[in-house]
Amino acid sequence: MTPATSLFTPVEADLRILADNLKQLVENRHPKLFAAAEYLFGTGGKRIRPAIVLLISRATMLEQDITPRHRRLAEITEMIHTASLVHDDVVDESDMRRGVPTVHSLFGNRIAILAGDFLFAQSSWYLANLDNLEVVKLLSEVIMDLATGEIQQGMNRFHINVSIEDYLEKSYYKTASLIANSSKAAALLSEVSQETADHLYNYGRHFGIAFQIVDDILDFTSTTDTLGKPAGSDLKSGNLTAPVLFALEEKPYLEALIERQFAQQGDLEQALALVQDSQGIQRARELAAYHTKLASEHLCDLSPSESHQALINIANYTLGRLY
Amino acid sequence: MTPATSLFTPVEADLRILADNLKQLVENRHPKLFAAAEYLFGTGGKRIRPAIVLLISRATMLEQDITPRHRRLAEITEMIHTASLVHDDVVDESDMRRGVPTVHSLFGNRIAILAGDFLFAQSSWYLANLDNLEVVKLLSEVIMDLATGEIQQGMNRFHINVSIEDYLEKSYYKTASLIANSSKAAALLSEVSQETADHLYNYGRHFGIAFQIVDDILDFTSTTDTLGKPAGSDLKSGNLTAPVLFALEEKPYLEALIERQFAQQGDLEQALALVQDSQGIQRARELAAYHTKLASEHLCDLSPSESHQALINIANYTLGRLY
């Protein structure tokens, strides 16, 4: 068991049920898609999104067991996340993710687009059948945010005028919206007060932003081996994340390298060195720590429980990956 | 005004409002997608799907005006249809549609996938905000059916054992489901009885199937110029439609040509000639006429009105395109 998954102890059994269900939900209809789906749901995903949904479900239901709807919501969350990954990999032409080839590089663009469409469609359908209009609205907002975030990221490639606020907005759309809205939805299924639901939305929002910042820092500080994709690949593709945006304030030459899209030999290496030599990574760490702290503070409404503690530990563990 | 659009007289003004709204809904956020969307929503679409939604809305509201929700439903219907076209064109690698280049051939795969995702996402969101759970369920079923239909079509390419039943099922998923479920949804927004709503679902289902059969016949009987895409392109790509499936019962040599995927020179021309020489096209026409008749019969619950008459005329006009 990796340190990440041992954090999920209170919902470990739930996550095993989820893994089986996810495969079965796709299996029923489409053998070829099933191969892609099994591959998708089988490979290395940390399942952090459904784990948070399940932990919030347990932390808000306390003595009572969680309901089939809580479980279904966790599955929908993972389906939406997976669908967006598959399409993002086609759009970004990424060949590797989590150390394994991406769906489109293995099965082709056709299957990748169809598999993504099918997962989005299936999640909309399961969502409607949760019979809770507010939950439908929250999660359909997420699907819209994911598309918006991917479009913004695409349009801002190599734009040195992107601000930290733009970056945080894009990170909300691409990462935090799903965690925030599914956290709130889980709370609503437990029939908590609107105020508690909003706190849990904000837990998810701050946690999601911290999670994205940490991921973006690791792209600079980790090895290709640990990342499961080439290190420095965000910068290379013009996706300017927190460490670079901070570094740009200190290192004007970075602008020139980015603006010519690393066209000359050694440009990318020089840019990576400039980021390392700046306060960029340190400042990004502080930003992640700030959002992690805010996330934990929004758990204030929850009674003490193993699941409550796990939600705090996950936020801290995420930050701890940097050290 | 083409004969097709003059059929829409009772909802002509409504369709103009719809065209403006569709462009505005996308415009707000994404300039680049807006270019693709304007192109999409601007080019030659017959808007038959939103026209039917609006006609059913007017035919069920009668003296009262239709509501903003009826209009929104018509927009959602066109958005879902457009999203699925964009992704289908990428998946099928089609370069032309309705006589103009497809989005992916003009703007690239990236933009086409993003634009499709964004339109699906936006339609889910508007759908949730109609605040009617039954309507959400009906339309999310459609999104699932569209994905299922495209997958089935892809998997059955060049399969000579496809039955007419398989073909009708696929045609339901790809074409009739959207018309049937949006017809029913429009009726539900007018608060008709469940029985009337079910009749209108069946109007849409039979009309949609007839519409697809007619489209598939025209691929054999029209010129490239009229179609706006190469004639015979269904057969060429292995998409076996009603005329071929019927022809296969008479012309065993067609099997061999299809099974070797028209690999030898002259194979496709020979196959097209075999279909022409068979009863395939005639039998497909009869099948379309049968479904057109059934469609009109399901309008039985509607009081006489201009919109009611237009719904009959559209079904007959569709069939009339063959003569």
CATH of the domain at A119: 1.10.600.10
Q: Establish if A154 touches chain B: CB-CB under 8 angstroms.
A: yes
Do residues A280 and A244 make contact, with C-beta atoms less than 8 angstroms apart?
yes
pLDDT exceeds cutoff 60 at B54: yes
Which band of pLDDT confidence, cut at 50, 70 and 90, is reported for residue B49?
very high
Q: Please give the residue of chain A at the shortest CA–CA distance from B155.
A: A32
Mean pLDDT of A230-249: 93
Task: Provide CB contacts within 8 A for A194, sequence distance 6+.
Answer: none
Task: Provide CB contacts within 8 A for B248, sequence distance 6+.
Answer: B160, B240, B254, B255
Instruction: Please choose, from the candidates B146, B143, B138, B103, the residue with its C-alpha nearest in 3D space to the C-alpha of residue B123.
Output: B143
Instruction: Please choose, from the candidates B102, B44, B77, B23, the residue with its C-alpha nearest in 3D space to the C-alpha of residue B226.
Output: B44
More confident residue, A152 or A236: A236
Do residues B216 and B284 make contact, with C-beta atoms less than 8 angstroms apart?
yes
B203-227 pLDDT, tens digit per residue, is 999 999 999 999 999 999 987 777 6
pTM for the whole structure: 0.89
More confident residue, A279 or A37: A279
Pairing label, strands A96-97, A100-101: antiparallel
Alpha carbons B59 and B299: distance in angstroms, whole number: 10
Q: Which residues pair with B100 in a beta bridge?
A: B97
Alpha carbons B166 and B290: distance in angstroms, whole number: 18
Q: Please give the residue of chain B at the shortest CA–CA distance from A34.
A: B151
Q: What tokens were used for A6?
A: 């041992």
Q: What is the pLDDT of residue B1?
A: 39
Q: Establish if B166 touches chain A: CB-CB under 8 angstroms.
A: no
What is the amino acid identity at position B234? Answer: D
Q: Establish if B121 touches chain A: CB-CB under 8 angstroms.
A: yes
Go through B19-35 and write b for each residue having 16 or more CB atoms within 10 A of its CB, e for each that does not: beebeebbeeebeebbb
Task: Provide CB contacts within 8 A for A1, sequence distance 6+.
Answer: none
Residue B108's Cβ-count burial label (10 Å; 0-12, 13-18, 19+) is: middle
More confident residue, B26 or A322: A322
Q: Please give the residue of chain A at the shortest CA–CA distance from B136.
A: A128
Task: Compute CA distances A264 → A160, A244, B7, whole Å.
Answer: 18, 19, 61
Q: Which residues pair with A100 in a beta bridge?
A: A97
Instruction: Give me the percent of chain B exceeding a pLDDT of 90.
Output: 63
Q: Which residues pair with B241 in a beta bridge?
A: none
Chain-chain contact of B118 with A147 (C-beta, under 8 angstroms): yes
For A191: left if phi > 0, alpha if psi spans -120 to 50, otherwise beta; the answer is left
Q: Establish if A170 touches chain B: CB-CB under 8 angstroms.
A: no
pLDDT exceeds cutoff 80 at A103: no
Do residues A35 and A59 make contact, with C-beta atoms less than 8 angstroms apart?
no
Rounded to a whole number of angstroms, the distance between the first and last alpha carbons of chain A is 20
Choose, out of B86, B127, B136, the residue to mutate when testing the contact with A (most A CBs < 10 Å): B136
Mean pLDDT of B113-141: 90
Alpha carbons B67 and A321: distance in angstroms, whole number: 54
pLDDT exceeds cutoff 60 at A71: yes
Under DSSP, is residue B101 helix (H, G, I), strand (E, B) or coil?
A: strand
Alpha carbons A190 and A93: distance in angstroms, whole number: 40
Mean pLDDT across chain B: 89
Q: What is the pLDDT of residue B3?
A: 52
Choose, out of A140, A155, A237, the residue to mutate when testing the contact with B (most B CBs < 10 Å): A140
Chain-chain contact of B114 with A154 (C-beta, under 8 angstroms): yes
Greatest mean pLDDT among A102-111, B141-150, B247-256 lies in B247-256
Which band of pLDDT confidence, cut at 50, 70 and 90, is reported for residue B92?
confident
Of B33, B113, B136, the CB nearest to A90: B113
Of A90, A128, A151, the CB nearest to B118: A151
Q: Establish if A134 touches chain B: CB-CB under 8 angstroms.
A: no
Chain-chain contact of B87 with A32 (C-beta, under 8 angstroms): no
What is the amino acid identity at position B273? Answer: A
Do residues B86 and B41 make contact, with C-beta atoms less than 8 angstroms apart?
no
More confident residue, A82 or B32: A82
Q: What is the pLDDT of residue B223?
A: 78
Task: Compute CA distances B174 → B80, B84, B137, B150, whole Å.
Answer: 12, 9, 17, 7
Mean pLDDT of A284-293: 97
Q: What is the pLDDT of residue A6?
A: 77
Q: What is the pLDDT of residue A32?
A: 64
Q: What is the pLDDT of residue A91?
A: 79
Of A125, A143, A148, the CB nearest to B29: A148
Instruction: Residue B187: give the domain boundaries.
Output: 4-320
The secondary structure of residue A100, as a DSSP letter, is E
Mean pLDDT of B87-91: 83
Alpha carbons A244 and A289: distance in angstroms, whole number: 18
Count structural domains, chain B.
1
pLDDT exceeds cutoff 90 at B102: no
Mean pLDDT of A38-44: 66
For the question of an ipTM over 0.90, the answer is no
Chain-chain contact of A143 with B124 (C-beta, under 8 angstroms): yes
pLDDT exceeds cutoff 80 at A229: no
Q: Establish if A32 touches chain B: CB-CB under 8 angstroms.
A: yes
pLDDT exceeds cutoff 50 at A52: yes
Mean pLDDT of B238-244: 96
pLDDT exceeds cutoff 70 at A254: yes
Contacts of B147 in chain A (CB under 8 A): 114, 117-118, 121-122
Q: How many CB pairs under 8 A join A and B?
A: 117
Q: Establish if B169 touches chain A: CB-CB under 8 angstroms.
A: no
Contacts of B151 in chain A (CB under 8 A): 29-30, 32-33, 114, 118
Whole-angstrom Cα Rg for chain B: 20
Residue A263: count of CB within 10 angstroms of its CB: 9
pLDDT exceeds cutoff 80 at B8: yes
Mean pLDDT of A194-203: 98
Rounded to a whole number of angstroms, the distance between the first and last alpha carbons of chain B is 20
For B157: left if phi > 0, alpha if psi spans -120 to 50, otherwise beta; the answer is beta
Of A33, A121, A137, the CB nearest to B128: A137
Contacts of A153 in chain B (CB under 8 A): none
Q: Establish if B117 touches chain A: CB-CB under 8 angstroms.
A: yes
Alpha carbons A306 and A311: distance in angstroms, whole number: 9
Task: Provide CB contacts within 8 A for B249, sequence distance 6+.
Answer: none
B62-76 pLDDT, tens digit per residue, is 889 999 999 999 999
B297-318 pLDDT, tens digit per residue, is 999 999 999 999 999 999 999 8
Under DSSP, is residue B304 helix (H, G, I), strand (E, B) or coil?
A: coil
Of B109, B136, B147, the CB nearest to A121: B147
Residue A269: count of CB within 10 angstroms of its CB: 12
Task: State the smallest CA–CA distance between residue B109 and chain A in angstroms.
Answer: 7
Which band of pLDDT confidence, cut at 50, 70 and 90, is reported for residue B5?
low
Q: What is the pLDDT of residue A81?
A: 93
Q: What is the pLDDT of residue A43?
A: 59
Chain-chain contact of B140 with A128 (C-beta, under 8 angstroms): yes
Mean pLDDT of A251-279: 96
Residue B100: count of CB within 10 angstroms of its CB: 15
